[in-house]
Structure 1
Amino acid sequence: MAGTDMARFVGFKVDASDGHIGKIDRHSEYVGRQFIVVDTGPWIFGRHVVVPASLVARVDEENETVHLSASRDQVKHSPEFESGRYEDDVALLQVIERYYDGHT
C-alpha cells in the first residue's frame, strides 16, 4: 500500500489474515515509513499495536475494513507499543519492522 494515504482509514476495522483484531486508532509517517496504530480492544486487553502499512494486503472501503497479511498471533506477539514513543524513535520502528519481516 505504498503511497497510500493511510490517515483516511482511521476508524476502519482491522482484520488479520485469520480474523478480526481491532480498529485503526491512528496513522503515522516518519522518514518515509508509514505505520498504523491498531486498538485491539478487549481482544488483547486493550493493547495498542504498531503495524507497518506495508502489511496492509487490501482495503475494503465499502465495509470500512483493512486486511493485513499478518496473522492474529503475529500481531498479538508484536513488540510492545508505548504511546507517544514510537513517532520519533527510529530504533523502535526498526525493531517493529524487523519483527514483521521475520514473520511474514
Structure 2
Amino acid sequence: MTGNMWNYGSTAGRQAGVDLIGYKVEATDGSIGKVDKHSDDADAAYLVVDTGVWIFGKEVLLPASTVVGIDPNERKIFVGLTKQEIKDAPEFDREKHLGNQGYHDELGTHYGRGTPFGGPHA
C-alpha cells in the first residue's frame, strides 16, 4: 500500500455516492463476508466487514487502501489481503473506533503502516 491508508487508490474503482453496504468482500484467496458499514470521508475512508460464520461473527475494519477493485454489477469488493491477514486483524470495536488513537495505531501497525493514517503522528 502506498500513500494514505485511509484513502481509496486511484485504480480501486470507487464511485462516489454508491452505497457499498451489502457488497460481498473477496480476499485474494476467497470470500470473507459482506460490508456492514463504510465511510468515504477524505483521509478516513474504510469498510467494516461482517465476516459472519467464517470468523464466528467477527467484524473487521479495512482501510480504503486495501481495496483493489470494485465490481458494481456483481456487488463485490476485492481487497489485496489474504483471509489470514483479515482474520488476524484487530476486531472492529465501534466504541474504540471513534476518537481512540491507540485503536487507530493498532490498525496502522497491523496493515503495515506503523502510524494510524499513513503519516507521522500529529
TM-score, normalised relative to structure 1: 0.85
Amino acid at match of 2:61: V
Give per-residue Cα distances to partners, 1:2-57, cap 9 Å, x unaligned. Answer: 48448621110001010000000001366722111000000000000011010000
- The ranges of structure 1 where at least 4 consecutive aligned residues each deviate by more than 6 angstroms after the TM superposition are none
More helix by share: 1
Any gaps of 5 or more consecutive residues in structure 1?
A: none
1:46 is aligned to 2:57: yes
Q: Could you tell me which residue of structure 1 aligns to residue 74 of structure 2?
A: 63
Runs of at least 5 residues in structure 2 that lack an aligned partner in the other structure: 1-7, 114-122
* Pair member with larger Rg: 2
Q: Which moved more, 1:3-12 or 1:40-49?
A: 3-12
- Three-state SS of the structure 1 residue aligned to 2:46 is strand
**Aligned partners of 2:27 and 2:81 also within 8 Å:** yes
1:82 to 87, 93, 100: 93
Task: Note if contact 2:49-2:60 (Cα within 8 Å) is conserved in structure 1.
Answer: yes
The alignment partner of 2:105 has SS state of helix
Matched, 1:33 2:44: yes
Change (3 A) 1:6 1:16: farther
Structure 2 length-normalised TM: 0.73
Number of matched pairs? 102
Higher strand proportion, which one?
Answer: 1
- Give the conservation status (yes or no) of the 8 Å contact 1:30–1:88: no
Identity of matched residues, %: 31
The 5-angstrom pairing of residues 11-26 of structure 1 reads 11-26=22-37
Distance of 1:6 and 1:69 partners within structure 2: 23
